[in-house]
Amino acid sequence: MPKRRGSETPPNEPSPKIAKVTDHCFSALVRAFKGSPKFAGYSDATKDIWGRELDFMARPDLLGGLSTQEIRPSLVQGYFDALTGRPGKQAAARSALRQLEKWAITRELLPRQITLGVEIEDMEGGHVPWTDAHVALAEQRARPDLARAVTLGANTGQRGSDLIRMCPTDIEINHGHAGIAVTQKKTGRQVWVPILGPLAAAIESWERRPGPWLRRPDGDAWLRKDLTLAWKYERDHNPALAPLKEANLHLHGLRGHACVRLVRAGCNTRQIADLVGMSEQMVSRYTKLSAQRENALAAVLHLKRTTSERENDKDEKSAS
């Protein structure tokens, strides 16, 4: 059967170059980025999250119909303003957009930065470290399967996507010390998380069975999203957990709690980063926030003592 004309490149001619998308719309730029080796090199979890956000903003009725020549920070800010009230989605979208921007500018597919000065809502509520009292309350009064998730998160500092995959078979002995070997789903980084006293005692009390430690009440393994939703429902509807609802505590905040626990045990930022598989910058953020809260609490207690002492002095003078 004869070959169709033009069906192959003549052997002496170079392969055709991929056309630039500079003069095309933003949606074409998104497709080019998602088809690039750069994007392919991200972890599956990152590709899923960032790909979903990029596809959404690339809709024709959003940013997708804009040309790469006209898109600019003010238009991008308008997109994020429309997401007010959804800080998690804003954060994921901005992270994805910044990576696309960096990739595109170095290849002259964008004429300018499009995220310069773009602002999103503060996600601090999801990152506020839990206090020891918060953890203890959840362990004692939350639904048992969720209390176990709190214990595991507070003592390992890992993301929910890693907590739900931890199993007894992940325990490894390193120079006589037991720890949990974790390949972080988001980063692909391999870390060994020591099992310290409180977690060791808890694990001893957990039923030993094949599969993950964290399970739904029906015995099935958790999906990350379902665990988040289950915790939020428990936090908001269990009257005993009212302080946690008031503080708007998320499971992700247990990462910060783990950092604070380690810094109070005498570990430095570099050591904590190695122990929990986190950047030093993020460790510093968590511990600084906690330090401010603890200092403020100390100031309040000092003021209360001072006020009480003054009142006692007045009473004694009046009595005399």
Summarize pLDDT for 140-176 with one digit per residue, the tens: 999 999 999 999 999 999 999 999 999 999 999 999 9
Token pair of 218 as six digits: 């029906």
Q: Which top CATH class is 126-296?
A: mainly alpha
The reported pLDDT for the residue numbered 141 is 95
Edge-first strand listing for the sheet containing 171-174: 171-174, 177-183, 190-194
12: helix, coil or strand?
coil
The overall pTM is greater than 0.85 = no
Q: Which residues of 223-244 are buried (b: 16+ CB within 10 A; e: fewer)?
A: ebeebeebbeebbeebeebeeb
Query: Which of 100, 64, 98 is CA-nearest to residue 79?
Result: 64
Query: Which CATH architecture is the domain 26-122 placed in?
Result: Orthogonal Bundle (1.10)
Contact 140, 96 (CB under 8 A): no
Kindly report, as residue ranges, where domains of CATH 1.10.150.130 are found in the chain: 26-122
What percentage of the chain has pLDDT greater than the value 90? 53
The mean pLDDT of 175-196, rounded to a whole number, is 89
Task: For residue range 199-230, list pLDDT tens digits in order.
Answer: 999 999 998 889 999 999 999 999 988 999 99
The mean pLDDT of 61-90, rounded to a whole number, is 89
List helix spans (H) across the chain. Answer: 26-34, 37-40, 44-57, 73-81, 87-106, 124-127, 132-141, 144-156, 160-163, 197-205, 224-237, 242-246, 253-264, 269-276, 280-319
Kindly report, as residue ranges, where domains of CATH 1.10.443.10 are found in the chain: 126-296
Task: For residue range 97-117, list pLDDT tens digits in order.
Answer: 999 999 999 999 999 999 999
- Partnered with residue 179 across adjacent β-strands are 172, 194
Task: For residue range 242-293, list pLDDT tens digits in order.
Answer: 999 988 899 988 998 998 888 877 788 888 888 888 888 888 877 776 555 5
Task: For residue range 45-74, list pLDDT tens digits in order.
Answer: 788 889 999 999 999 999 999 999 999 999
CA distances from 105 to 66, 112, 123, 254 (A): 17, 7, 28, 37
Greater confidence (305 vs 69) lies with 69
- What angle do helix axes 253-264 and 269-276 make, rounded to 10 degrees? 130
